[in-house]
Amino acid sequence: MTNHNNMESIETVEIQITPRTNEIVDTEMAGETDELKQETKALIEALKRRAQAEAESAGTLTRETYLNAVRKARETIEGERLIERDKIENSLNVIQQEAEKNVHLLIKQFTELGLRFQDAAKAAWDAFNAPRVN
């Protein structure tokens, strides 16, 4: 498309983001930070340019050559996404396990404290009600 909504400057390289890329990223990444969305948009545009440049450098730009270059770029990105998603899921599992362990330890400590209070209260009651020797 020749109409560009956003221009992003990354290390003196201008990235022109197409309306279609904006739409896709904003839809697919709803709820993410604006910075993450902008970086993703810039990455997609850079990948499109790279795929086109690679296809053109190989000779004439045929539809099949372009599609192969785009597929390769997509597969690379999806592979990286899966790796990142796995890392995030593993981190969340570790956090959840640690939280559960801490809750169980906290409950155990409260239970022990409650039993000690019961023992102390019983001992105080027994001492209070014990017969006095004069």
The domains of the chain are located at 6-100
Instruction: Say if CB 22 and CB 5 are below 8 A apart.
Output: yes
Instruction: Say if CB 38 and CB 53 are below 8 A apart.
Output: no
In angstroms, the CA 121 to CA 21 distance is 70
Give how far the C-alpha of residue 115 lies from the chain's centroid of Cα atoms, to the nearest Å.
43
**Would the pTM count as exceeding 0.95?**
no
pLDDT in tens, 98-129: 888 888 888 888 888 888 989 888 888 888 88
pLDDT in tens, 33-57: 888 888 888 888 887 787 777 666 6
Q: Which two tokens stand for residue 90?
A: 């593993």
Residue 20 pLDDT exceeds 80: yes
